A and B are shown apart, each in its own frame.
Chain A
């Protein structure tokens, strides 16, 4: 989109974009280029010896069953977080859309988890599910479920999925509610006159009209699950047990910082960048679709 009326100046626009471009170059592009550079090297921890090893780091990654396992873990985690986050918030939004009284109160009470940092959410749920002292652990044991996420990988996954999803419900809820409230009432009335019950109306009319929003949220939630949940993982399971919750972004951090494996970590960063670019292209394409809609 272009504006018809524009200003012209020899130096002013450059001055205006300069701060953002400067920070972008220093803190985005320069490190990204360096990450690319490191990914081709083998270094010791202190940077005293560096050797150029070409694609060896990448080859090592793809031969490492743990790294491939991380892909699976990340995929599973993302699907669970995005899926359950969207489903639950859609339900809540549909309910909130129907009630007239107390709508504002419900909205207020449901959006505040957005303000909670993922790491803090992780800590709260860690406390609830702690193997010895957790309240939920106690309740689960009372009904016979042996809860021990420290050893059982799928239980650890459940813990981080719950913590990560809990936070996103409010964000999704807002979008769905707005989407629902923008659907013309006349459409719904017409269907009702035709004899369609509320359930039928929802699936045949409301949901298709909501699909752009749903798709948008899907992409946002997946990106959230990929990256912003680092805090959740670090505060709770640190990728364990036995790598059951080691998502890709956590492995980048762990290998780079804790294991001082700069080359391997940078190679992983490069691969992750590729995935993000692909995801963003998808999102951008979607934006075009929505605009046409």
Chain B
């Protein structure tokens, strides 16, 4: 820093710590609630220290789900669904976007600009805007309550394509020139040159898309009515909107902790690439 102002530095640390506390407070309370019994939670105010029912609550949630409220089934199953959806969307999106982007940047062909704009326009149509007709299309195709129905419609958004496009535009022409001189075809060029170069972008995209897929809410809400197909995020919401019974908060909170653990881990562990990918290219 420019000058040495210890007071200001202390002030900064204090603000940051307060910020972290505020940001982390809900998580802490959630964790405490997930280790207590329902009665302890319902007595106001709930004690703010972790209780002793950690294993009991988590194993109940994972294996049998809530019992008195809406039957949501075992959370373990829901986590598996979320994992499948998140991975399928992440890999699927990356795969079809990278080849589409490659084609648009490195080739000249009729309709190239048309395709580019077609893909671009989808940025303007988030799923919330076209839910009912998309639901009908998926229903007509018989894809309700299926993994394909959960993932396929979400795979073709433009974000990944644009990220790759931006990146490919910065690849020096000399590389492509060299490949051509060597007699390598475009696909060789793709495998040997482009892919290795794109590692950081792919990693960043993986984090973004994994979280996107894991946290999907509206689409799985519409597509799955079978409780065995629900994802973790949907499951939490279903556990709250009960019909005739009390919400089992201790299990809801345990499920919430389980539901946010995988994406949080992905973000924290892959922080470096994630930050790079987010910040260096416009979405």
Contacts and interface: CB of A to CB of B under 8 A. Distances in A.
Interface residues of A, number: 99
Tier of interface size on chain B: 35 or more
B263 interface: yes
**Most A-side CB within 10 Å, residue of B11, B44, B48, B97:** B44
A99 B15 CA distance: 11
A98 B12 contact: yes
Given A92-B19, A96-B16, A111 B267 contact: yes
A51 interface: no
B124 A273 contact: yes
A116 interface: yes
A126 to B, nearest CB: 7
B156 A110 contact: no
Given A16-B100, A116-B260, A91 B15 contact: yes
Contacts of B104: 13, 17
B267 A12 contact: no
A254 to B, nearest CB: 11
Given A27-B134, A115-B264, A9 B186 contact: yes
A12 B185 CA distance: 11
A127 B30 contact: yes
Given A7-B107, A120-B259, A230 B217 contact: yes
Contacts of B8: 98, 198
B131 interface: yes
Interface of B: 1-3, 5, 8-9, 11-13, 15-16, 19-20, 23-24, 26-27, 29-30, 33, 41-42, 44-46, 48, 96-97, 99-100, 102-109, 112, 115, 118-119, 121-126, 128-134, 136-138, 152-153, 155-156, 161, 169, 173, 176-177, 180, 185-187, 189, 211, 214-218, 221-222, 233-234, 236-237, 240, 249, 252-253, 256, 259-260, 263-264, 266-268, 271, 275, 278-279, 282-283
